[in-house]
Structure 1
Amino acid sequence: AENFGAVEFGIPADFRRVYLEEHLYLDDPFPAIAATRTEPFYWSDITGSVQLTARQSAYIEKASKAGFANGMIMQVFGPQARNALVSIGFQKGRPRLSPQEVTEMQWAAQSVHLHFCSMSKPTDGQHSRLSPQELEVLRWIARGKSNTVIAEIMGLSRHTVDTIIRRMFGKLDVTDRTRAAVRGLAFGLIHQSSDYLA
């Protein structure tokens, strides 16, 4: 659980907070099920055919209350066993994807994951020399905060934050905030429950 990391878009803030703070990813049944399959599958196709624990059933109930009527899970694969799970939640009333759309979604997810892997290739190890202040700025960047907001949070001037970011970019060998956040996640610099890409 300590090394749990995720990239998410569009998940309701309350559910995201509960998922992390209550460590619901430990009760989420879909990663273990996905590890045994090569094809994408819908949540609803699994929950009716797999024996779930009480905690797993409670997790699915919480996801339903958060507005997820169904969803699709697929594994993606990367170099040196850098595999990941892609989970796409659907709101009520969303029709099922056609077989062709499922295939296109799977290829798109695989392509994005390989791009993520290429963006997070190890460098010469300079990332290990990030200062505590640089790490804090990186974690705020990963949470989507602007330089101005980071300056307010940390009690620094905007100019100081800009300087810290330029120095941090050099150590991470990146030129933009997205790549910095991706490398931070890949290098384990962003891994606590409060360090979440949003």
Structure 2
Amino acid sequence: MSGGGEKKTKKRKGIGAPTPWDRALFIEFGSILKTQDIFELRRCMLKLARIYGFDALYAVSPLTRNPEFGRHLSCLNFPAVWERQWRRRLFWVDPLIDYCLKHPQVFMWSYVFDKPNLTPAQKRYVAFCRDLGMGEGLGTIVYGPGGRMGFTGFGKPTSRDCFSAQSFQAVATIAQLSFNRYCALSADADGSKPELSPREIEIMAWAARGKSNGDIATILGISRHTVDTHLRRAFRKLGTSDRTVACLKALELGYIQSSEQNFSPQFQIGKPTPPVED
């Protein structure tokens, strides 16, 4: 005790004391909460993922047990062919999504991919992913307001060190903080976000790339009338009849990502065949 009766406290040292590296990570984690839009948030997530040796990620939200509703995808640094096919129909058979709904902890992708009880379609999906170099990573379920759920997968690991206990803890923290921020940015906590179907999202994504209705029909192998119908429904849900405004709203709400506008998918001979049945 000092003469003034005040007790002096000493800075904590030894095991459990914060290190300069810890403080740097706290700052990085805090940057998630400062992001101003969904695109900045995804870039921030990838920056943090790379600290732990993962060079790609994908996020699915909102997550429901019925794949017909929700399962809206955003991803960074995964192959374009996988992204296209996942949006189109592979969301029905992704075993990582099914597993995370029943097991609320961080897990390795290979643990799920190697399970003997996968359906034939899921086994073809796993083979498709492995052909693209997507055979390993970490995944976790995340929780938001109002019972909302999502999934985050971290892929393209650079070494086996990516699967340390520290990495598992860091991935859980990055995913959960990011999902909380995503919910706040998307203004979905109050239930104001319109629900677009997977097909409407897919067609809106192509529209955002500047494709005409005829082009979209050719790309997806459907009729021009079907494209027109889905776009009208999407426009109505988004509260506009203007194509540009609808695309901007879909971007703001997180249904499509700005990265989708930066490439024009080409259908080339030799691309891996998606492992699902018609």
Pairwise TM-score range, normalised by the shorter structure = 0.5 to 0.7
Aligned residues of 1:141 and 1:181 also touching (Cα < 8 A): no
Q: 1:3 Cα deviation (Å)?
A: 4.0
Task: Tell me whether 1:34 sits opposite 2:100 in the alignment.
Answer: yes
Question: Normalized against structure 2, the TM-score is what?
Answer: 0.46
Q: 1:16 Cα deviation (Å)?
A: 1.3
Q: 1:4 Cα deviation (Å)?
A: 3.5
Matches within 5 A, 1:112-131: 112-122=178-188
Match of 1:14? 81
Aligned with 1:79 (options 145, 169, 180): 145
Higher relative contact order (CA 8 A, sep 6+): 1
Query: Take 2:205 and 2:112, find their aligned partners in 1: how far apart are those partners?
Result: 37
Q: AA paired with 1:19?
A: W
Corresponding pairs, count: 155
Q: AA paired with 1:106?
A: A
Query: Take 2:93 and 2:104, find their aligned partners in 1: how far apart are those partners?
Result: 22
Match of 1:106? 172
Which runs of 5 or more structure 2 residues have no equivalent in the other structure? Answer: 1-67, 195-203, 213-241, 261-278
- SS of equivalent residue, structure 1 residue 67: coil
Aligned with 1:97 (options 159, 163, 186): 163
Query: Take 1:80 and 1:31, find their aligned partners in 2: how far apart are those partners?
Result: 20
Q: AA paired with 2:73?
A: A
- Greater Rg over alpha carbons, structure: 2
Question: Normalized against structure 1, the TM-score is what?
Answer: 0.63
Match of 1:46? 112
When the two chains are superposed, the root-mean-square deviation of aligned CA atoms in Å is 3.7
Match of 1:181? 251
Cα distance 1:79–1:197, how it changes in 2: closer, same or farther (>3 A)? farther
- SS of equivalent residue, structure 2 residue 73: coil
Aligned residues of 1:120 and 1:183 also touching (Cα < 8 A): yes
Aligned residues of 2:106 and 2:168 also touching (Cα < 8 A): yes
Cα distance 1:103–1:123, how it changes in 2: closer, same or farther (>3 A)? closer
Query: Take 2:126 and 2:94, find their aligned partners in 1: how far apart are those partners?
Result: 8
Q: Report the identity percentage.
A: 21
Superimposed CA distance per residue, residues 128-182 of structure 1 (whole angstroms, 9 cap, x where no aligned partner): 7xxxxxxxxxx56995x6xxxx5xx67xxxxxxxxx89x959xxxxxxx7x9724
Aligned residues of 1:142 and 1:196 also touching (Cα < 8 A): no
Q: AA paired with 2:84?
A: R
Which runs of 5 or more structure 1 residues have no equivalent in the other structure? Answer: 129-138, 155-163, 170-176
